[in-house]
Amino acid sequence: MADRFKTSDGCEIAYTLHASAGPAAPRVALVHSLALDRDIWDGVVQALAKDAQVLTWDCRGHGRSGQPVMTYTPQLFARDLAELMDHVQWPSAVVGGCSMGGMVAQAFAIGHPQRTTGLVLIDTTAWYGADAPKVWRERGATGKEKGMAALVEFQTGRWFGDAFRATEKATVDRLVRVFLDNNVDCYVKTCEMLGDGDLRAGLATIRVPTAVVVGEEDYATPVAMAEALHQGIAGSTLTVIPGGRHITPAEKPQDIAARIREVLAKAE
């Protein structure tokens, strides 16, 4: 069921509730990566169809959701998710996120612990490093000055390994269309959010079953960043996916679904 709702500050959020598993099934909310949308989860949703209810959504500034040009923070996006969960009457869920979505998932677990039953952090980090504000603003400026098309080659090489780009061209092309369709001013604001984001201080407060997952070939948020998350969250597991790059939910959906199932089992 695809639908829309408005947040408390009036931003329209587009979402899909995949509930074929029935109302008694466990709940999973999934948050997408920068400049893409909820479609990155299609393969994962299909793999989980019999196991869980799955909520996917387009973050503000992305996809089919509202596009206010404003200061974005992981905490704001996490509040949007909390309000979306209120709207679909979910008191709590396992929350998973890829890349940008992983930062939002961390912010959700830190800010809404009573609503988080488990956490799956995919190809992500709590902090991009001391030079991140400059690096991310430069990337936003490239999109603004040269157009999103100028970033496509850079992005697709980061998203997926060579073999996947060669054999799964339809998937790559579909995500490129989403990328090109971005509101560039919202893209700039989201780049600023990622450059400034630092969730490290809150990691020690996370007390739910947590899986940290990273593609072996991910050079956007490399294995060392995943290891830092794993060390920062007590009791978490760390999985390195062989041959995976940065958008493993689309590249390796069965692997991601397996990690989510493991967290669901522990959460129950």
Task: Find the mean pLDDT for residues 68-92.
Answer: 98
DSSP string, 69-105: -S---HHHHHHHHHHHHHHTT-S-EEEEEETHHHHHH
The per-residue pLDDT for range 47-64, each reduced to its tens digit, is: 999 999 999 999 999 999
The per-residue pLDDT for range 3-15, each reduced to its tens digit, is: 999 999 999 999 9
260 contact partners, CB below 8 Å, separation of at least 6: 28, 44, 48, 52, 94, 96, 120, 211
89 contact partners, CB below 8 Å, separation of at least 6: none
Report the distance separating Cα 84 and Cα 15, nearest Å. 9
The conformation of residue 266, written as its DSSP 8-state character, comes to H
Report the distance separating Cα 239 and Cα 214, nearest Å. 6
Kindly state the tokens that stand for 10: 């009036």
Task: Find the mean pLDDT for residues 211-234.
Answer: 98
Where in the chain are the domains?
Answer: 2-127+199-267
> Average pLDDT over the chain, rounded to whole?
97
Q: What is the pTM of this model?
A: 0.98
Tell me which of 2.40.70.10, 3.40.50.1820, 3.40.718.10, 3.30.460.80 is the CATH number of domain 2-127+199-267.
3.40.50.1820
Residue 268 binned pLDDT confidence (cut-offs 50, 70, 90): confident
Residue 258 binned pLDDT confidence (cut-offs 50, 70, 90): very high
At 90 the pLDDT is: 98
